Amino acid sequence: MTRVGIIIGSTRPGRNGEAVGRWVQEVAHAHGGGEYELIDLAAFDLPHLDEIVPAAAGQYALQHTRRWAETIRGLDAFVFVTPEYNHSMPGVLKTALDFVYAEWNHKAAGFVGYGADGGVRAVEQLRQVMAHLKVADVGPQVTLSLWTDFVNMNEFRPDARHEATLATMLDELLSWARALRTVRTESVHNGTVRKEAVAEPVG
């Protein structure tokens, strides 16, 4: 079964992201085709990047990094739920992306943005990051407006049309995730993807 992580990309108090993430999970469960897990960055409490060795080396020394790496490694695809802060993604989401590397590789991603303009600029920046992380991002994306999909900008009431867009995005996400499973398997056999030593104790 394809495992999809729905990553809530904001940790700000009073955020709208949790309600949006739970809506995505509800629609996804009804859609089927995979297992959908809500991944809340607030539950991981990642600090500013504090690993000495670059993530691409895979030498994770700190427990919070190892926990995050194990979570991402177990997933086949991702739906990033992100607000737009000053024409960009939240810093906490960028930090979470930067903490690990190979765990993202050869997987698929879709996007649900929200904000005054639907989070479109945050998603565009995320797409650039996905390219470097070797993540295949799908074209369809959900754009939720603070003006029309929220009451008083904080009570989430999405327009019904967004469910069809989300379903289309999930269809493509699952297709790419299944196709890329072969790429991940070949990469491991060829030795191009390092074996992450998260279980090794730090001496």
Beta-bridge mates of residue 78 = 5, 109
The Cα–Cα gap between 185 and 87 comes to 37
Q: Are 112 and 82 in contact (CB under 8 A)?
A: yes
pLDDT at 189: 52
pLDDT at 191: 56
Beta-bridge mates of residue 155 = 151
Taking CB atoms within 8 Å and a gap of at least 24, the contacts of 63-68 are: 65/99, 65/100, 66/198, 68/44, 68/96, 68/99, 68/100
Please calculate the CA angle 184-96-138 and round it to the nearest 5 degrees.
50
pLDDT at 201: 33
In a structure prediction context, what are the per-residue pLDDT tens digits for the chain, which is 203 residues long? Answer: 999 999 999 999 999 999 999 999 999 999 999 999 999 999 999 999 999 999 999 999 999 999 999 999 999 999 999 999 999 999 999 999 999 999 999 999 999 999 999 999 999 999 999 999 999 999 999 999 999 999 999 999 999 999 999 999 999 999 999 999 989 887 765 655 444 433 333 33
Q: How would you classify the pairing of strands 155-156 and 150-151?
A: antiparallel
Backbone angles phi, psi at 172, to 5 degrees: -70, -40
pLDDT at 190: 63
Per-residue pLDDT tens digits for 147-163: 999 999 999 999 999 99
pLDDT at 194: 46
Residue-averaged pLDDT of the chain? 93
Structural domains of the chain, ranges and CATH numbers in brackets: 3-190 (3.40.50.360)
Beta-bridge mates of residue 35 = 3
